[in-house]
Amino acid sequence: MESLSINKILSNQKNLERILENLKDGIIAHDLDRRIFYFNKTAEAITGYDRNQILGRDCHEVFGEPFCGGKCAFCGENAEPLDTDEYTLTIVTKSGESRRVEMLTTMMTDERDTDVGVLAVFKDITELQDLRITSGRSMGFSRIVGRDAKMLEIYQQIRDVTDYDFPVHISGDTGTGKELVANAIHNESRRKGAPFVPINCGALPDGLIESELFGHVKGAFSGAVREKKGRFELAHNGTIFLDEVAELPKLLQVKLLRFLQEGRFEKVGGEKTISVDTRVISATNKDLKAEVQKGSFREDLFYRLNVIPIKVPSLRERKTDIPLLINHFLGELTEKDRLQPLRFSSSAISLMMDYDWPGNVRELQNTIQFSIVRSKGRVVEPDDLPMEFRSLQNTSPKRGPARKLDVAVVRDALVKTGGNKARAARVLGVGRATLYRFLDDYPEVIQDN
C-alpha cells in the first residue's frame, strides 16, 4: 500500500513539481534540441538566472557557453549520449561570478525507452572547497596531491585566477608539477571542456616550432603537403600551455608578443590573419628575469607573460607531503598494474624525508617504482631504495642520541605535545625525520607514552 500511495503522489504533476522546487540541489532539464523546459528555484539561486528568462531557450544561448562545461552529449558533433555522468566543473553566474559545482547528468526516456532529454542535478560546493583549502583538510586539489602550507597557497592562487583570463607564468624546478598546476587553472576555469593544449618549447628544433605554434599553409616549406593548424588555433576557446618558454627563439618571441597584444597571428607562409580566443599559461625552470638581463629573453614579452606569477615549491620545501605522495603513487600503481598492496616502512620513509630530491616529485615517483621492483615483500625497507638513499643510511648514526636528542628529552616532549610527533619535533628543534629515526632506535619511548 505504501508503494502505491507514493506512486499516486508522484503521478500528480503539482506534487512532483513541489518536490523538485524544494530540493536543495539545482535542477535543469532540456530536450534533445537543448531547449530548457525545467529550471527549479535552487538553480535560479545558484546561477542568478530567472527561469522566466530562459525556459524554452537553447541552454548554450542562455548561458553564453555550454552550462555543462562542454561535457554534454549535445555540445559536439556526433556525440554519443551517456546514461549517467558525474563530474565537477566551474560555471559562470549571470553576474559573471565563477562557482564550483558538482554536476550529475542523466538521460531521460519515455515509456518506450526512447531518449527525450537530459536532466542535470547540481550542487554549489564553492564555499566547501574553499574551506577545505584554507583549513588544510584537503588532501589535494584538481589532481594535485599535497596539503603542505605552501601547496595550500598554490591552491588558493589557482582559485583566485580562475575568474580571469590574464596570462599566468609558472616557475619552479624540473619535476615540481608545473603542467599539473597549468591544467588545474584550466580545469577550474570557465574554459574547462574546451581544449588544454600543451607544448614544450624546448623540445622542438627552431625550424619546426613556429609551425607547431602557429600552423602553416600548404607549400609553405618543403614537406608542407597540406595546411596545418598550430597549437594556438587548436586551443581556441581553451588554454595553451607554453612549457619551457625561455627556450623560444627571438623571432618566435616577437610573434608571441604580437599575439598577446592583439590576439592575432599568421600561419607560416600564409597571408590571412587569424584571430583566436585562448588563455596563455607559460612555465620555465629558469629565472626569466635573469634571462632578460642576459639578453636572451625579451623584456616586453616577460611582462606580458608574467602578469600573474605562480612559484611551485620544490619537494624539499614541502617534505611533509612525502608520505601523502607515496600513498598516492602506490595507490595508482596498485590499481593500474594490479599489484599486491604495498607500504613503505617508517625507516624507509624517514630516509626519504631526509633526502634533498633534486628531481622533485618526478624523482619520487621513479624511486617508488624502483623500490617496488626491488622489494621482495609487501613492505619496502631502506635496503630496497636506490643507492643514494642507502648511502644516506650509511652516513646516518644508527644508535645513540641523534643530534641533541636523548630518551628523557624525547619522552618529555611527547608528553607535552600529547604524543603528537610533528609538534614534538618542533619543540625539540629537529626535523621530523630525525625524530622518527630516533624513535625507530628507541621504541620503548613510544611504549612508555
Residue 56 placed within a domain: yes
Residue 8 placed within a domain: yes
pLDDT at position 441 = 73
Whichever domain contains 167, its CATH number is 3.40.50.300
Residues 240, 203 share a domain:
yes
What nine digits make up the cell of 369?
617504482
pLDDT at position 400 = 42
Residues 174, 260 share a domain:
yes
Place of cell 530548457: 36
Q: Do 58 and 92 form a contact (C-beta atoms < 8 A)? A: no
Residue 324 placed within a domain: yes
Residue 136 placed within a domain: no
pLDDT at position 70 = 63
Listed in sequence order, the residues at least 6 apart from 211 whose beta carbon sits closer than 8 Å to its beta carbon are 220, 221, 224, 228, 230, 268
Cα–Cα distance for residue pair 327/446, rounded to 1 Å: 24
Residues 356, 261 share a domain:
no
pLDDT at position 286 = 94
Q: Do 34 and 60 form a contact (C-beta atoms < 8 A)? A: yes
Residues 89, 185 share a domain:
no
The pair phi, psi for residue 301, each rounded to 5°, is: -70, -40
Residue 134 placed within a domain: no
Number of compact structural domains in the chain: 4
Residues 357, 277 share a domain:
no
pLDDT at position 426 = 72
Entry pTM: 0.70
Residues 270, 206 share a domain:
yes
* Furthest C-alpha separation in the chain: 83
pLDDT at position 100 = 81
Residues 197, 264 share a domain:
yes
Residues 49, 31 share a domain:
yes
Residues 169, 103 share a domain:
no
Cα distance from N-terminal residue to C-terminal residue, the chain: 60
Whichever domain contains 324, its CATH number is 1.10.8.60
- One digit per residue, the tens of pLDDT, for the chain of length 449 reads 455 555 665 566 676 677 778 788 999 989 888 899 989 999 999 999 998 988 999 888 888 777 776 666 666 554 455 667 777 777 888 887 778 888 888 888 888 888 888 888 999 888 877 766 665 556 778 889 988 888 988 998 998 898 789 999 999 999 999 999 999 999 888 888 789 999 999 988 877 899 999 999 888 788 788 999 999 999 999 999 999 999 999 999 999 999 999 999 999 988 899 999 999 999 999 999 999 999 999 999 999 999 999 999 999 999 888 988 999 999 888 777 666 778 898 888 888 988 999 999 999 999 999 998 888 888 899 989 998 887 676 554 444 444 456 677 788 778 777 778 877 777 676 777 778 877 877 776 665 55
pLDDT at position 110 = 83
Domain membership of residue 73 as a residue range: 2-124
